[in-house]
Amino acid sequence: MNIQQTLVIVKPDGLVKGLVGLILRGIQKHNLSVINSFKTKLSRDWVKKLYAGEEKEVYFEEIVQWVSSAPVLLLKVQGKDAVNTVKQNIVGRYPNGIRGQHSENWIKNVAHAPDSIKSAERELKLAEPIFKKREKVDAQRFNNKLVFALTGMSECGKSTVGKYLDFCGVPRLKIVRLFERIRDKWSPEEELYQFTAKEENRDPYALWDAFILELLFEMKTKKAAMVSIESLYGGGLGPYLKQKMTEHFCIVYVDIPLEIRLQRQIQREGLSTIEEAKTALLPRDEVKTASGIPQLKLIADEVIDNSGTLEDLYRLVDEMVAKHSSIVTKIANPIAKS
């Protein structure tokens, strides 16, 4: 299999037009993956190096000015035949592809991608110090912090895990509340689901970067080095947070067989039959499955078996925190029962 890496630069007009989501969906559609990303303002000197060899072209000065005039998004993309797939089928050669649909002219043509393996290697080498800078900045932002992201199917016990962590001194945050605060700043009149769906369609990275800022602000406000966030939904948010926060972000999938969940539903709700429990539980499972929750189990840092007793669950949570809490160097005995 010919696995390659290539570079995509979403230009200033691509960001303004909200085309990041479209580009990311194209990458996913072609079974490619983004393995690094950084939104930054490029220097003129860097852009001149990007377009080295085109100095005598009439458009050279104009394109250098445009690409360095405002922030751009750099994406390192990996996958089978990534160079040609991105150039031909995703970004496109003007006037085809996304460029053909959204470009204003040869300069404002929304995105850039190298057209050969040799060019891709050169441009990725040029971009590597920028990605290294991003990693260094993120390492400083998340230093001495740890986030447990709780997820799982309906009635799996993730709220029980969150409440237990909170009891043990690890504050429990609700993901929906953090997104509500972003909505209140960006578009206060809009319904939350419509707001998040629209922003994830336009530029999910901008929305998720805002989510990180709210998360860090909340941790600072609570003076907490460790928190849990609940409930992590499927799709790109979890992988993106993992890419940005690395070992400081722990995806925790609370797992429990359907049969046990149904039995507990009967006991909790005072139901009479399994069919009643299925009527209550299965439609919610369908929604979670459609949103990609089961796929999070495949990338989870921890899968907690909640098919035993409550004491078993608490013991597993204690072990999980002890395993990961070395990230938080300033905290001793992070789980201390009263």
Whether 111 contacts 91, CB under 8 Å: yes
- List, in sequence order, the alpha helices (H) in the chain: 12-16, 20-29, 44-50, 60-67, 82-84, 97-102, 117-142, 158-167, 175-186, 192-202, 204-221, 237-245, 258-269, 274-290, 293-299, 310-324
Whether 152 contacts 302, CB under 8 Å: no
Structure tokens at 319: 């072990």
Q: Is the dihedral of CA 209, 212, 249, 154 positive or negative?
A: negative
Q: Phi/psi at 28 (nearest 5 deg)?
A: -65, -40
Cα torsion 300, 304, 307, 311 to 10°: value is -160
For the question of residue 30 being annotated catalytic, the response is no
Whether 147 contacts 248, CB under 8 Å: yes
Q: Which of 102, 112, 248, 324 does the annotation list as catalytic?
A: 112
Cα–Cα distance between 143 and 150 in angstroms, integer? 21
Q: Measure Cα distances from 221 to 143, 178, 217 in Å.
A: 16, 13, 6
Three-state secondary structure call for residue 69: coil
Structure tokens at 335: 């789980």
Compute the residue count for the chain: 338
Residue among 225, 41, 207 at smallest CA distance from 133: 41
Three-state secondary structure call for residue 62: helix
Catalytic residues: 112
